[in-house]
Amino acid sequence: MPSPAPPATTSTAVVEEFLTALAHSDLDAATALVTEDIVWQNVSLPTLRGARAVAALRGLARPSVNFDVIVHNITSTGNVVQTERTDLIAVGPLSVEFWVCGTFEVRDGRIAVWRDYFSYRDSLRGLIVGLYRLARGRRGGRSTGYLGA
């Protein structure tokens, strides 16, 4: 993992910079914003830690995978940042959008904990809509929203 500390000055700025880096497929910038011992938890799925979490993030760098995000609300108290957002994940021509609430814990300018909560029902709805768009010859679209522009 890169050693230089990121330039962001607040916990909220660190999270915004991280999500923007992911949306722009800049995995080097994104991984520079996480600690070596990061804990990444999608609640109800297995928790990823450290190198395994970073490897999973790097999976977003595959040519057939795209990630984008629309942040609806973001707030922080000290080093804890909460987001309410829509994540957009495209694999090949299939694009899936779903609601996510995320909590990030920032330590020394880097994300130490990333915990996302999402609804399986909403994720399934996003998949069904994505499959419908694909069947109709429409791919959905990349966001022009808050961070993914």
Other CB atoms within 10 Å distance of the CB of residue 125: 15
Catalytic-role residue among 28, 68, 108, 116: 116
The answer to whether 110 and 33 are in contact (CB under 8 A) is yes
Higher-pLDDT residue of 25, 8: 25
Q: Quick one: average pLDDT of 99-115? A: 96
**% of the chain residues with pLDDT over 70:** 86
Q: Which of 106, 6, 5, 112 is nearest to 49 (CA)?
A: 112
Q: What is the reported pLDDT for 148?
A: 43
Return the beta strands (E) in 78-109 as ranges: 80-91, 94-107
Domains of the chain as residue ranges with CATH? 11-135 (3.10.450.50)
Q: Quick one: average pLDDT of 41-57? A: 89
Q: How confident is the model at residue 3 (pLDDT cuts 50, 70, 90)?
A: low
Does the annotation mark 116 as catalytic? yes
Catalytic-role residue among 28, 87, 108, 122: 87
Q: Which of 16, 11, 56 is nearest to 38 (CA)?
A: 56
Q: Quick one: average pLDDT of 101-117? A: 96
Does the annotation mark 26 as catalytic? no
Q: Which residues contact 115 (CB under 8 A, 6 or more apart)?
A: 39, 40, 41, 43, 102, 103, 104
